[in-house]
Structure 1
């Protein structure tokens, strides 16, 4: 078919007219927008995929873009762009730099490609730039140094390369610098420590940074949490000034090429070996490999020699006196242990008698004995102590719609027994399910103390803490009534229940969800509860799992309530059991249950009976290790005489691969390896021997919340 020249020209003319009309319409449509709207449309044009329709209402029908999704304005000026986890595919437009009032950009967890355009940094008022977990690459432009108000820079989990620009030091107000999981090389800029002394968060891990750690790093006096230099190529000596960082900062130097003695100075003193593993040329405490000259990091001045006979005599005298003290302590311990043994014998006989009585009835009648005790109490209360005033169920919130009679008439099933008492699952006639714990007999003189404590515990409300709904007190019976949590405890979820077949191991996403839930609950207890409580007895058996595998911390405040109610002195008995390996003359046996529970107790629990928040942090760290490894602390102790923490430290020192310590189910999820390593590092920080070296639960929670996997 032939086409004439005139036909061709006519068609070209028609196409030209059509394009002109389309362009005219576009210009007329956009002309109503202000300059900021036009700049944002340029950003939209650089996005090629928007699976959630996040930018769907970005059009030119308004005079300004303040009503668009993801845009925040102040006085009709754009101050924030926020599209986290929207799956946006495309690149960053330099036109964003023309937004003169722009303060915050949050585009984390998307699929952005390309480099950081220098034009972006024309927005001189920028305070936070959060771009982590994208696919950005290239260098950080030197223009970043022109942002005098920048406080947060998070470029982690991208593919940035090159050196960290010297210009970054000009950002004097920078508080958060997170550059982990990139390909940064070269050494840190000169003046890094002095220039960025306002930093509160520093994470340089998983790069290829080299050279020495700057000697002025100790100027970062406002750092919190973890100063993370791990998984890089840093070499040479550890600067002594690193010890000038705040003592509560955990300094992670693992997996570098550092060498020489570890300075015993400031924040570096009493650090466990886990902060330095992966540096084969490091020596001195806390590592086992001594320095070649046999001199500790701080030199011989740390250990002055004693010369002359006079000093020797004083030394011998001190040794003699210390032996006398030791003998006295041992004799006192023996007497104390004897008394405690008598108490235990009495308690044991009472417990056996109780169990024989309980064994005579079926599970459906397990509350019969309890009901009889409660009914008799109305008759006995007249002769009881004047301090005992309660003979009815006391609700602790307005949602309690049941009374004591309904509770006693309900069907009941034994859930478990412990040294504290029996726990029943109770199903009321209306279908409501509760967990009822009996605290046993005795303790008639301390009602007021019990009332004060139980009402304080009842005020604690958090999604990850089991709620105490009501209580009952009488001379012969004390009950605590909780919400019933249906999915069993964490120990069963990790290792399976007795006789359960088949057993389905949890995925990493479920485990991480549980870890986060426990951390949130503990953080609330430590930081935000009325009295900034301590749990003191955290273990997998008292982590209960809800319908969607959410974690609920149970037994909070239980030990104290049991002691007030006249139960066994739990903390004393556990301490005595823990000390038995050091005092073989004791005849008190350590039960298998007690042996397991001791695996979760912090080392300092042997020295004091007063729990601290750092106890809970240690226990939480052990639970993390158990979730990662899938190993039972009891089985590990029986097979290797190592507790779970010691076993992990042994594996690290032996440089065993990650797959050797992982639960087999997790080894089949290689895509989760980075997150597993991050949690493992957190766990090892939590189980540091020195309490002050452990992070707070708030720091732990912040770290875990940055891991986006989960349900």
Structure 2
């Protein structure tokens, strides 16, 4: 079982995630292959597929993970070439449509985990007969020919024997290989080719598993080696926070895993350990110019952070080629998902008081980071709704902070959201006020309910919330930009407009006219529900 889990993790680490078509272009290409595709009229180029507006499109942290196109009367062809471009696609449902002909080459979708095709008229195995089908089997189909039966049975026995021998050989060979790999430097995580930055790698352990499953400690900000079960030259996993217990690289190596997402700094994997602990590992390949001492020092600083609105990492691993960062799992997910991707109870809970609580919590977390790292140009650097996680009570947790100090300037400029501020676009420099600009974008996003186009690498899709809000203010129709889902009474509208104006002051194109972080926090705290 351990070997199978290891193989599962190995397979996911080697998945290539490069793109040739954008996800929007791929879905529009797929739509064109359908008959009666007007059932997908919500699939339009000027909206992001992950905006929550595209029918049947399931996303996680900005990546398409599912297509659930059930009972839409779709027919024609299913363009597998288009589906291949959706590298995060895990589930597909075409149940109860009107597709016919041969089943498409879905085997090309290597990462697919679930495929539902019932309720269509696919063809491809004319020899099937008998119950539950309506086709009655003929004598030949029933296999009454003794000679044919003997020949067929002998063939099957030979194939089964050869298959068993081959399986046993591969099993023992792989077991020997895996055993030897345990004495190496966790090279398995260094071999994949992944081009982009992942959302937070998360950890989850059910409360019933927490007692006895791990070695608990009450020490804060402690750093120690994870349980490596024998040194033998294997590099260590360094624990930064042992409140949730300790674990080592062997625990990760034995865990089953799946890809969660990818981005400019690396990729994210979720791995389920044998003791029930679900581990999500952030794998960063674009920080390989850092020396061990510098990276250790930064990680230990992060591990000492304690604030109710900061997600503190639990552990890390250093290799010259890549770094691993492990953090706590937050079940509710990101603000991006709850605001744009979820249409369940979590989204319904996003009333005005809850949204104000989220913004005020984000502001407090930013204030803490700006106090903890006063000499940094970007104390956060990558503030956006996908990097804000929500606890069950909607208290926000900031994640992916301070990476500007870890990445090279070209990589930081490509991967971090602060570099999309006017400061960098116009003047080729960033400062703490670039973080203020990012805070302003989140304020506008939360109040309008619109997905900002700035989050997309090509800028296509979503809403230019800055231009939209500024235009509405200049035309004295500011109330029109507020999300109708939170507008309840005149008093709350006035408070929303106050907060919207603070957001507008945070996104001033001239940094000198922009609020500093302390002023922004003070004004946000004064807003009432």
TM-score by length of 2: 0.52
Cα deviations by residue, 1:212-267 (Å, 9 ceiling, x for unpaired): xxxxxxxxxxxxxxxxxxxxxxxxxxxxxxxxxxxxxxxxxxxxxxxxxxxxxxxx
Question: Residues 422 and 379 (structure 1 numbering): CA distance in 2 closer, same or farther, change over 3 Å?
Answer: closer
The equivalent position to 2:464 in structure 1, one of 640, 643, 665, is 643
Residue 672 of structure 1: aligned partner = 492
Superposition deviation, residue 493 in structure 1 = 1.8
Name the structure 2 match of 1:688.
Answer: 508
**In the superposition, relative to structure 1, how do residues 373 and 519 fare at CA in structure 2: closer, same or farther (>3 Å)?**
farther
Q: What do the CA deviations read for 1:619-669 (whole angstroms, capped 9, x no partner)?
A: 1011101111111222997589x73112211111111151x1111102234
1:14-33 Cα shifts (integer Å, max 9, x gaps): xxxxxxxxxxxxxxxxxxxx
By how many angstroms is 1:549 displaced? 1.3
Bigger relative contact order, structure 1 or 2, given CA contacts below 8 A and separation 6+?
2
Cα distance in structure 2, aligned partners of 1:555 and 1:372 = 35
Q: Does the aligned pair in 1 maintain the 2:373–2:379 contact within 8 Å?
A: no
Matched, 1:633 2:452: yes
User: Counterpart in 1 of 2:383?
Assistant: 538
Q: How has the CA–CA distance of structure 1 residues 373 and 616 changed in structure 2, closer, same or farther, with 3 Å as cutoff?
A: farther
Indicate which of 385, 393, 396 corresponds to 1:548: 393
CA shift in 2, pair 1:477/1:570, >3 Å = closer
Conserved? CA contact 1:465–1:521, under 8 Å: yes
Secondary structure, counterpart of 1:700 in structure 2 = helix
Find out whether 1:405 has 2:226 as its counterpart.
no
**Matching residue of 2:206:** none
The SS at the match of 1:666 is coil
2:357 is equivalent to residue 513 of structure 1: yes
Q: Of residues 336, 340, 350 in structure 2, which corresponds to 1:495? A: 340
For residue 56 of structure 2, what is the aligned residue in structure 1? none
The 1:547/1:436 distance shift into structure 2, 3 A limit, reads same
Cα offsets for 1:129-182 (capped at 9, x unmatched): xxxxxxxxxxxxxxxxxxxxxxxxxxxxxxxxxxxxxxxxxxxxxxxxxxxxxx
348, 360, 367: which one pairs with 1:504? Answer: 348
Normalising by structure 1, we get a TM-score of 0.39
Give the match for residue 654 of structure 1. 475
Shift in alpha-carbon separation, 1:491–1:412, aligned structure 2, 3 A: same
Does residue 462 of structure 1 match 2:282?
A: no
User: Would the aligned equivalents of 2:316 and 2:325 in 1 still touch at CA under 8 Å?
Assistant: yes
Indicate conservation of the 8 Å contact 2:182/2:250, yes or no.
Answer: no
Tell me the distance in 2 between the aligned counterparts of 1:553 and 1:379: 31
Instruction: Specify whether residues 665 and 536 from structure 1 end up closer, same or farther in structure 2 by C-alpha distance, changes over 3 A only.
Output: same
Aligned to 1:480: 325
Alignment counterpart, residue 522 of structure 1, candidates 354, 363, 366:
366
Structure 2 residue 510 is matched with structure 1 residue 702 = no
Distance apart, 1:478 and its partner CA: 1.9
Deviations 1:520-550 (A, max 9, x none): 0000011244756611121111111112111
Asked if residue 619 in structure 1 is aligned to residue 438 in structure 2, the reply is yes
Q: Is the 8 A contact 2:265 2:286 kept in 1?
A: no
Contact 2:423-2:430 within 8 A present in 1 as well = no
> What stretches of structure 2 of length at least 5 have no aligned partner?
1-86, 88-108, 114-174, 189-232
Alpha-carbon distance in 2 for matches of 1:541, 1:425: 17
Rate the CA distance shift 1:390–1:625 in 2: closer, same or farther, 3 A: farther
Q: Is contact 1:370-1:477 (8 Å) kept?
A: no
| DSSP 3-state at the match of 1:684 | helix
Listed one character per residue, the Cα deviations across residues 350-383 of structure 1 (whole Å, up to 9, x for unaligned) are xx9xxxxxx86788xxxx9999988642799xxx
Q: Which runs of 5+ in 1 are unaligned?
A: 1-351, 353-358, 381-388, 576-596
One of 573, 579, 587 as aligned partner of 2:414: 573
Q: Does the CA-based 8 Å contact 1:439-1:562 persist in structure 2?
A: no
Answer yes or no: is the 8 Å Cα contact 2:506–2:514 preserved in 1.
yes
Describe the shift of the 1:426–1:530 C-alpha distance in structure 2 as closer, same or farther (beyond 3 A). Answer: farther
Kindly tell me: are residues 657 and 687 of structure 1, through their superposed partners in 2, closer, same or farther at Cα, counting changes over 3 Å?
closer
For the residue of structure 1 that corresponds to 2:508, the secondary structure is coil
Asked if 1 retains the 8 angstrom alpha-carbon contact of 2:240 and 2:314, the reply is yes
Do 1:371 and 1:408's aligned partners in 2 also have CA atoms closer than 8 Å?
no
Judged with a 3 Å threshold, the aligned counterparts in structure 2 of structure 1 residues 530 and 396 are, in CA distance, closer, same or farther, namely: farther
For these two proteins, the number of residue pairs brought into alignment is 314
Going from structure 1 to structure 2, the CA distance change for 1:573 and 1:530 (only over 3 Å counts) comes to closer
**Aligned equivalent of 2:316:** 471
Quickly say closer, same or farther: Cα 1:403–1:374, change in 2 above 3 A. same
Shift of 1:434: 4.0
Q: Distance in 2 between the 1:419 and 1:631 partners? A: 23
Q: Per-residue CA shift, 1:385-405, capped at 9, x if unaligned?
A: xxxx98110112343422222
SS state at 1:377 partner = coil
